[in-house]
Amino acid sequence: AVGAAAMEEAAAHNGSAAGAGDGAPAAARPPATPEGMALAYGSLVLMALLPIFFGALRSVSCAKSKNSSEMPETITSRDAARFPIVASCTLLGLYLFFKIFSQEYINLLLSMYFFVLGILALSHTISPMMNRFFPANFPNKQYQLLFTQGSGESKEEIVNYEFDTKDLVCLALSSVVGVWYLLRKHWIANNLFGLAFSLNGVELLHLNNVSTGCILLGGLFIYDVFWVFGTNVMVTVAKSFEAPIKLVFPQDLLEKGLEADNFAMLGLGDIVIPDLRSLTSAPFPYSLKKNTHTYFYTSFVAYIFGLGLTIFIMHIFKHAQPALLYLVPACIGFPLLVALAKGEVTEMF
């Protein structure tokens, strides 16, 4: 729910450090250099595009394979309308938790939760790539994890998961990253988990039609703008939440190397929510029965434009920006203009 966090500079140009949301004073940091900022924001844009592009490709492959165990979950219009409300309640709840209870213990609990989820997400992400590196004579055994309820004719499957030895190897490699994240909270480990979450979100979440995408984006547009500009809730939670729900990149990498700590950040929701399939979900591009990727590339350009505009506005006003404020109009407007030019608006909806 807090995935639609604002894109922001963790340390503003006046040299003040990013606070933990508790109002405590923090030691001043030197302002980021132009080179450092360019590297940080360029890297964030690139990292945002990777899960969108490859997640969309894997989503299409998944649909073609028609593997019921991996079929994406479809978001309906009702789900889309309720999502901003649920997201707001969750965000406010997290904010109150951070204000009332010790931030240390909350983040410890969240770290363990995302440790498990991160390992599973990263394992699922790297599995197709790792399969190419296994030799042909690799002893690959098949396993099945089956958990049922009841007996006889009333027996019901609760969990039915099939995997093999290669999957176990991927799980072991992902566990190494998980331990690294749990012990060090290093920004590279955070980003590996964040990219895995984003790619899985793009791959496994579909909208049932374009209208649903407009409802979802419209609602989250209001949600993001209100919680960033109307209150300090979004920014406070984004800074206090020590979990891989955001991609981060240091602006002082050139000066401090891998131990840099002056971060720019981008919420994962700003990647998954306005992704390429929000307006080009399965029914639209394929229903036209034309061998074209016009809307795919249009949405891709729209996303780059919206994210670039977010960075530019943030740099001008020196304030955290709700990325969906710029991404939503771009991701809706660009494909709509193309549909108008091609006379396909009716088919689009």
- Compute the distance between CA of residue 310 and CA of residue 273 in angstroms, rounded to an integer: 16
- Compute the distance between CA of residue 85 and CA of residue 89 in angstroms, rounded to an integer: 6
Catalytic, out of 164, 252, 261, 270: 270
What is the token pair recorded at 58?
A: 């894997």
The closest alpha carbon to 124, from 48, 54, 184, 197, belongs to 197
SS3 track for 223-285: HHHHHHHHCCHHHHHHHHCCCCCEEEEECCHHHHHHHCCCEEEEECHHHHCCCCCCCCCCHHH
Q: How close are the terminal C-alpha atoms of the chain, in Å? A: 27
Catalytic, 252? Answer no
What is the token pair recorded at 205?
A: 């979440």
Catalytic, out of 224, 252, 261, 275: 224
- Compute the distance between CA of residue 324 and CA of residue 307 in angstroms, rounded to an integer: 9
Which residues have a Cβ under 8 Å from the Cβ of 42 and sit 6 or more positions away? none
Catalytic, 79? Answer no
Catalytic positions, written as ranges: 224, 270
